[in-house]
Structure 1
Amino acid sequence: MLSLLLLSASCTAGRPAPGPGDAPSATDGPTLAGCSVFPVDHVWNTPVDALPVHPNSAAYIASIGPDTGLHPDFGAGLWEGAPIGIPYNLANAATPRYAFRFDYADESDPGPYPVPATPRIEGGSDRHLIVLDTDTCKLYELFDVDLTGATWSAGSGAVFDLTGYALRPDGWTSADAAGLAILPGLVRYDEVAAGEIRHALRFTASVTQRAYLWPARHYASSATDPNLPPMGLRLRLRADFDTRGFSPEVRVILEALKKYGMILADNGGDGYISGVPDERWDNDTLVSELRRVKVSDFEAVDTVSLMLDPDSGRARQP
């Protein structure tokens, strides 16, 4: 089973034929199919290993569950008939565009959205559809996608220019509860195989606060307890955590968690890290090794010093 939908050569005329993923260079941020996945100084791609610990870190860790082990929400093969993880699709100007009917139309970008002929859609209840237009380097993300007859519908939809820094309007959702882009926070096998991930990862928690921290723009909770984690919270694997003894693939993930951390983006399983389905993952290794890493091995990061503008994802470099 392929983990990506690769378009035909006729759909990629004028650009190098994209492979399943591009590894970042030593001087640039992450790239995919010839597009930057946000600029190198975007908050997703900014290291947080030298930032101070958030003053409420201990309470946040306690609320998520100190003894909870990490869990890969990605892998090889199928689970309940669908790929394990959040797949993405590649498109370009030749890909058909469709209008969508949205449940949350007042917080969705109208589109139209490119949809390949046989799109890969996430399984389960979220049914995310993620499409990267390799001609324009625009990212199209949809939540709870459905096709009834000839009519496409979704809970919400968002379009991101991966060459820029624009955030969602304040208070708006995206295809994610935090109002963030999903693709920039996914673990991709090609990055792991290249030996380094150069961006923060996306993770979920089961109970969150009715609040959000920059760069998040939205919450999905009615709970007002200040000790619950808010959307946009960034956790960092402690610098003294010993990554020796882990497999090379998992060690790459753990080193990224030390340098870039992970951003709370949605409600879901506690400590679940999101990634792209790929037949090259070793599910047994991922699950057994990541569960050895506990939430108590993390600390919340105070990222306020990175913010240059509350409406921009561009980050002050530490």
Structure 2
Amino acid sequence: MTLQDTTTAHLPQVHLPRNPGMPLDMDWVMRAQANTSAIERRAASLPGRRSVKKDYQAAWLCKAISLIDLTTLAGDDTDARVRRLCAKARKPVSAPLLDALGMTGLTTGAVCVYHDMVPVAVDALAGSGIPVAAVSTGFPAGLSPFHLRLAEIGESVAAGAQEIDIVISRRHVLTGNWQALYDEMAQMRAACGAAHVKAILATGELGTLRNVARASLVCMMAGADFIKTSTGKEGVNATLPVTLTMIRAIRDYHAATGICVGYKPAGGISKAKDALVYLSMIKDELGDRWLQPDLFRFGASSLLGDIERQLEHHVSGSYSAGWRHAMA
């Protein structure tokens, strides 16, 4: 990958058919297993087996920026904070640094906010081509009345959100009620209409990697455009073993249906070196096509600051203070 290979953001699945879903195949779901020890060994080996340096590292880091869903999901969010975050999404790296790297037109993949902040974000991003993603369906627990969760999706879409990050009911996974999970996901997918839906599995609360694999398949069968690890609010969020489990489910689904489903790790990914490991895993397991914003996103905020700091080191040879790369 060279610096020129980095693309700007676009909506999920613009160039590919959306996932239409399929009838729930319980035989397939129950066949899904996860060899936890083998998955953990593979995940642990990856950081030491894949390394990129110098210009190649800078190119990969620019690619990572284009795949970030720049996120603020705090109880004290304000209009001003969201507008500053949107300004950062439009110009994630300082102009002199981009000039030194030979980069133009670099933006983040999307901006992700609570429903109340959707109109502000839509206004702040007008004309940029950067979509607004809204977390929905009683985020982060997903325990509000179901009709209200569906209504919340509709409100966010009406406000201009082009992507909806929904949360599943974890109890359906923990009790093995796959039909209930399928029905819930299908109704949420329908409520999103033209907006693309990312299904948050909250993997840290699902108990086992086998549950993660089965929940991934069920959500894809019900029409999820993306599957996503976490809300960022659980005790354990994105991990490499979970990622390997989910992207292999994506690979299996693609092999069986021909449909590409996206993947979004979220929560706890804050260092540039971590982003490089995730990208290398995606390249190894799914191929280059998944290294585009329509099929891969990072759910992150502080990650961008560390990437910008690493890029400045690449250009100048010196690390800068963290305050020079504030998010908002």
TM-score tier after normalising by the smaller chain length:
0.3 to 0.5
- Structure 1 or 2: larger strand share? 1
What's the TM-score, normalizing by structure 1?
A: 0.35
- Structure 1 or 2: larger helix share? 2
Greater relative CO, 1 or 2 (CA 8 Å, sep 6+): 1
What's the TM-score, normalizing by structure 2?
A: 0.34
